[in-house]
Homo-oligomer: A and B are copies of this chain.
Amino acid sequence: MARKVYIDNKPLEDALGLLFRRLEEAGFFAWETEEIDVVDALGRITAAPVSARRSSPHYSASAMDGIAVRAEETYAASETSPVRLQRGKQFIEVDTGDCVPREFDAVIMIEEVNFPDEDTAEIIAPAIPWQHIRSVGEDVIASQMIVPALYCLRPYEIGALLTSGVRKVRVVKQPRVGIIPTGTELVEPGGRELAPGQIMESNSQMLAGLCREWGAIPYRYPIVVDDRKLIKEAVLKCADSSDIIVVCSGSSAGREDFTASIVSEVGELLVHGLATRPGKPAILGLVGNKPVIGVPGYPVSAALVFELLARPIIYRKQGREVPSQPRMEARLSRKLASAMGVDEFVLVNLGMVGGQLLAYPLSRGAGITTSLVRSDGVIRVHRGTEGFEAGQTVEVELRRPSETIQKTVVTIGSHDLALDWLGNILNLKHGIRLTSTNVGSMGGLVALRRRETHFAGIHLLDPASGEYNVSYIRRYLAGEKVKLVNLVKRQQGLLVQKGNPLGIRGLQDLVRKGVRFVNRQKGAGTRILLDYLLGEKGIDPELINGYGREEFTHLAVAAAVQSDTADAGMGIYASARALDLDFIPVAEERYDLCFLPGLLDGPVYDKILEVIASEEFRCEVEQFGGYDLSLSGQVIWESD
């Protein structure tokens, strides 16, 4: 079986340099322009300087409500000898903006005029020539350049251009980007259920959104199945009508990956394989002097490759440079190893804890769409370095306003669905964003000790005392000022498949032949509870099939059971309910939030407690079931 390998492992700069050089030679970056109505030109880029066609004001305009006069006829006026002027001949009344006729050269404010009768105006001070008259062109003079070429039109320019008699403006055409999703496994977003192996096509829609943000117009093609002839046809058709051709997926070295060979055949393949992570399988080529980009199928890779390769092309095609992204320096929460030979891009969360900006690397899995959603920024680990140590200061390119990051509350620890509801209400009511990272209860205490989280959700049973949390805090946060606040009490139990087909009734059934278990990771409160209960019942963990298979959240355990890769797992009622599984209660436990108040602004702490006490939060939690709110919001324990 012949399998292709990547042709290249080309450094990003070399790949872009090569592509841009070839596109320059091909004249690709010469702008196309179009003339459009000024009123439709918001956000568009001028293709040439735009000059005023008319002065504004285009006539001598009164700047006041008053009377227009000839200054020389007022020179004699004083308080003691007022001057009287005759309506029509020596003055006319004008409002602000009215035309001052040629025979007058000054305006006197209405407040300074007396009208002894209808036809007479009396003044007691002389007028200075041209006073209170806006001269022609005071604002803008015909022929004056309003904006240069390559200027992005804002609402102010729209107003100024109309004012100066410009109704049409020549602008740079928005680049058209044709996006072709390929893959027999892909399904259009639509009503029907997906079969195993099928994937909802979503990358093209994400890339289309990015195109719009960069000023281009995306054209999404229908999905093309993995048929070389059909994909080739789509590429050629796209090359006819678009400026930039994007082929989604089909760029790895798998059996159905035709993109590179098609580009070679109908155009020129410049690069197949980038020295970046993610993004390795990217393709760059030319078809008919237009750039073709082959984008990997995994969403994180797709987004990154598109940003690295398509964004600079799209901006350049509009005569613009990619705007520099805002950056911040942050302390890295954990070691970030990276291969020497590649530029690696790592998505991170950011949060200001105890006055220090921290960067928390997210999962580096290229298939984790939610990392894109969660990430606040990107760290670039340059080629030739092996990464960064924990605690090192790194530069982060922001993907969210720094304002949002400043208002972020970080929670690291055990997961509970109530945290999501808490976060939602905090955002709704107070504009506070909650980012939660699920590393289990012990992980939360460690993060607190390292001052890397504002608070930690924990549910740690002390096997010696049967008590929750406090003994762990005493041990792991000795000497710290701590507040322990209850969030909820909750049901722990066994999650089993709908209808409980194996008839599991309790922990003792986990050792039965044919029962596949899925466990939580070491340090998770649920794992500690399980081990405690197994010990109490004298059940040997070694006899449980799957005891060594670990997942990191309740929901992940529930998903394993629901998808039939396991028959039982330990977790909270809420996760069984969320995935419609059966639930066998085993214990009730206390899930508390552990705060180091020094790390969090007092008012923010107060708002969190306020939300936990709110009717809205209680309603949400109670509705879901499996929770007891009798202690919610109470300070359970405080260090001295």
Contacts and interface: CB of A to CB of B under 8 A. Distances in A.
Interface string A35-69: 00011001000000100001111111101010000
A254 B3 contact: no
Interface stretch (A153-161, A260-268, A496-504, A520-528): A153-161
B197 A156 contact: no
B209 A42 contact: yes
A321 B159 contact: no
Interface string A218-234: 00000000000000000
Contact of A254 (B95, B202, B319, B555): B95
A469 to B, nearest CB: 25
A556 interface: yes
A148 B206 contact: no
B99 A139 contact: no
Interface in A397-424: 401, 403, 420, 423-424
A193 to B, nearest CB: 9
Nearest to A319: B428
A135 interface: yes
Interface string A95-133: 111110010010000100001000000000000011000
Interface string A13-24: 000000000000
B55 A136 contact: no
A105 B548 CA distance: 14
Given A137-B556, A254-B96, A369 B56 contact: yes
Q: Tell me the interface secondary structure of chain A in the complex.
A: loop
A384 interface: no
B560 A372 contact: no
Given A200-B165, A255-B95, A373 B559 contact: no
A543 interface: no
Interface string A535-568: 0000000000000010101011011101111000
B159 A202 contact: yes
Contacts of A478: none
A357 interface: no
A55 to B, nearest CB: 6
A245 B56 CA distance: 28
A136 B254 contact: no
Interface residues of A, number: 117
Given A3-B110, A165-B200, A213 B148 contact: no
A143 interface: yes
A442 to B, nearest CB: 23
B579 A143 contact: yes
A324 interface: yes
A256 interface: yes
B144 A555 contact: yes
A150 B55 contact: no
Nearest to A190: B167
Given A167-B189, A424-B148, A157 B42 contact: no
A370 interface: yes
Nearest to A160: B369
B156 A303 contact: yes
A159 B559 contact: no
A26 interface: no
A368 interface: yes
Contacts of A553: 141
A514 interface: no
Contacts of A549: 129-130
Nearest to A560: B135
Contact of A370 (B61, B140, B194): B140
A424 B555 contact: no
Nearest to A140: B370
A427 B159 contact: no
Contacts of A555: 137, 141, 143-144
Contacts of A164: 369
A265 to B, nearest CB: 23
B154 A564 contact: no
A143 B578 contact: yes
A431 interface: yes
A297 interface: yes
A424 B560 CA distance: 63
A209 to B, nearest CB: 3
Nearest to A183: B97
Contacts of A163: 200, 202, 299, 369
A210 interface: yes
B367 A136 contact: no
A73 interface: no
A141 B553 CA distance: 10
Contacts of A151: 427
B158 A205 contact: yes
B209 A135 contact: no
A425 to B, nearest CB: 9
A328 interface: no
B97 A150 contact: no
Contact of A60 (B38, B213, B420, B563): B563
Contacts of A303: 155-156, 159
A335 interface: no
B199 A97 contact: yes
A137 B563 CA distance: 9
A254 B96 CA distance: 8
Given A3-B65, A96-B254, 4 more contacts: A129-B549, A140-B370, A148-B420, A156-B303
29 contacts: A3-B65, A39-B205, A42-B213, A54-B194, A56-B200, A58-B196, A58-B563, A97-B197, A97-B297, A134-B367, A137-B556, A137-B559, A138-B367, A139-B367, A141-B559, A142-B562, A147-B373, A148-B424, A148-B428, A156-B206, A156-B372, A156-B373, A158-B206, A158-B209, A159-B209, A160-B369, A160-B373, A162-B202, A163-B202
